Amino acid sequence: MFEDVYLWIKALHVIAVIAWMAGMLYLPRLFVYHSEAEIGSKQSETFKVMERRLLKAIINPAMIVTWLAGLYLAWSGHWFSFGWLHVKLALVLAMSAVHGFFSRWLKDFAADRRPRTQKFYRIINEVPTVLMILIVIMVIVKPF
């Protein structure tokens, strides 16, 4: 029975990670387009709604489920003594920090503040991708 629960939690974890990453890759892309929209325009207001819904309905819940399921898997699998998991946790903490920055920037857009350029958002859009690649390597390859 324990193995069945472990596998169901593992499936939930993978599903949550996919949802979290989808949002983390899409939100900064919305920021790129939003930064080009005229403040107060219908387009800008539409982006505000899209960004808020993406964060509140998908990204935030997916991150929470990812963390909870992942910590359960690490605990029940006795992985906490392995170096690869330490690196993975550090990378997931970094991803969570990026998530926090995205949340703050969303608030800036909601208040019609735009201290960053579209080029900045185009570049920052790559950070979750790089972190994701490194996390997957840690989990699959377990290099140490």
Residue 34 assigned ligand-binding role:
no
The CA angle 70-98-73, to the nearest 5 degrees, is 5
Residue for token pair 């819904």 = 53
The residues, ordered by sequence, that sit 6+ positions from 134 with a Cβ below 8 Å of its Cβ are 87, 91
Residue for token pair 């929209």 = 37
Residue 88 assigned ligand-binding role:
yes
For residue 91, give both structure tokens: 């990378």
* Binding site members for heme: 13, 88
* Binding site members: 13, 88
